[in-house]
Amino acid sequence: PDRFLTWHWETEEEEERGRLNYVPDSKKPNAGTFILGKEDHTMGNLLRHQLLRDPSVRFAGYRIPHPLIFDVHVRVETMDSKLTPINVFESALLDLQLETDILSKTFEAAIAEFDANRV
């Protein structure tokens, strides 16, 4: 496939359909696979690591089934049915978002401080 397809969606509707999908596991309860379109190890590893920090997650792993198909599969299994994989995924994303917000604010503050000291 063309190289720009690693990150470029051809049509908007394809983007809406393909960005995030969920396939529940047919054999186990409380388990499922999230399919993220046009992503790579950057997000896959980040999500998997964050999911593993959640105590209600029994299994979390990610894989890229084929390097020429630009999808990331994240498989999540929770301890019991109080929290479904979707709930756990949502809370992981929320934690990550808060963390990146704090990161960017701290960075901007540090840059401002550095510039002030230099001048």
- Applying CB under 8 A, the residues found at the interface with another protein are 3-4, 6-8, 16, 19-22, 24, 36, 39-43, 45-46, 48-50, 84, 86, 89-90, 93-94, 96-97, 99-101, 103-104, 107-108, 110-111
Q: Round to the nearest angstrom and report the end-to-end CA distance of the chain.
A: 50
Helix, strand, coil tally for the chain in percent (to 5): 50, 25, 30
Q: Which CB atom, from 7 or from 69, has the smaller least distance to another protein?
A: 7
What minimum distance in Å lies between the beta carbon of 108 and another protein? 7
Distance CA 69, CA 59 (A): 24
Q: What angle do CA 49, 52, 56 make, to 5 degrees?
A: 150
Closest to 25 (Cα-Cα) out of 81, 71, 92? 81
Q: Which CB atom, from 79 or from 86, has the smaller least distance to another protein?
A: 86
Q: Which CB atom, from 3 or from 66, has the smaller least distance to another protein?
A: 3
What minimum distance in Å lies between the beta carbon of 58 and another protein? 19
